[in-house]
């Protein structure tokens, strides 16, 4: 057999083997992703049944962060606007008075919102307490045969 025919046969085997190996990798990857989605779905359903949310479902903008953003960014934007207005316009005193009023109002409103944040529901507190406490059972609950027989 000549060397050129041997090279063609070896090349064809490599191409066919690569296609088979690539197909196996794709099939295994698809099955893995499907199993991963099934497990995530099961976890999500179990969390819903228990009244809990998954960490990936929670927004980064929690109510506490919204209150902090209002209390911090309203004054920053108000005083930044007053700074620009005083350097670009002629209303120096009025801009700073307005910025002071708006900034103070923003801080006060952010504080009021932070003080009135919703507390966790009774169901969520009960589920966390149930996970850490021993259930109260009466000793007769496990009396199988009975002592009176």
pLDDT in tens, 76-89: 999 999 999 888 87
Of all residues in the chain, the percent with pLDDT exceeding 90 is: 35
Residues 71, 47 share a domain: no
The reply to whether the predicted model has a pTM over 0.85 is no
Residues 32 and 72 in one domain: no
Does some domain include residue 144?
no
- Whether residue 149 is contained in a domain is answered as no
Same domain, 114 and 69: yes
In a domain, 90, yes or no: yes
Q: Is 38 in the same domain as 89?
A: no
Q: Which of 3-7, 8-12, 50-54, 140-144 shows the lowest per-residue confidence on average (mean pLDDT)?
A: 140-144
Question: Per the structure, how many domains does the chain have?
Answer: 2
Q: What length is written for the chain?
A: 149
Q: For residue 47, what pLDDT is reported?
A: 83
| Residues 6 and 29 both lie in one domain | yes
The predicted structure's pLDDT at residue 113 = 87
Mean pLDDT score of the chain: 81
DSSP per-residue letters across 15-42: HHHHHHHHHHHHHHHHHHHHHHHHHHHH
Domain that holds residue 114: 59-120
State the pLDDT at residue 74: 93
- Whether residue 93 sits in one domain with residue 40: no
DSSP collapsed to 3 states, 40-95: HHHHHHHHHHCCCCCHHHCCCCCHHHHHHHHHHHHHHHHHHHHHHHHHHCCCHHHH
């Amino acid at each position: 057999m000549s060397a050129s025919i041997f090279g063609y046969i070896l090349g064809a085997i490599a191409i066919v083997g690569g296609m088979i190996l690539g197909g196996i990798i794709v099939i295994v990857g698809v099955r893995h992703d499907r199993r991963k989605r099934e497990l995530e779905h099961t976890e999500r359903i179990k969390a819903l049944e228990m009244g809990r949310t998954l960490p990936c479902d929670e927004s980064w903008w929690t109510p506490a962060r919204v209150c902090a953003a209002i209390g911090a960014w309203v004054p920053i934007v108000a005083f930044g606007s007053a700074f620009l207005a005083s350097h670009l316009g002629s209303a120096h005193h009025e801009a700073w008075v307005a910025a002071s009023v708006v900034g103070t109002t923003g801080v006060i409103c952010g504080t009021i919102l932070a003080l009135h944040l919703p507390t966790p529901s009774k169901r969520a507190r009960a589920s966390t307490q149930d996970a850490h406490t021993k259930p109260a059972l009466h000793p007769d609950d496990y009396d199988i045969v009975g002592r009176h027989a």
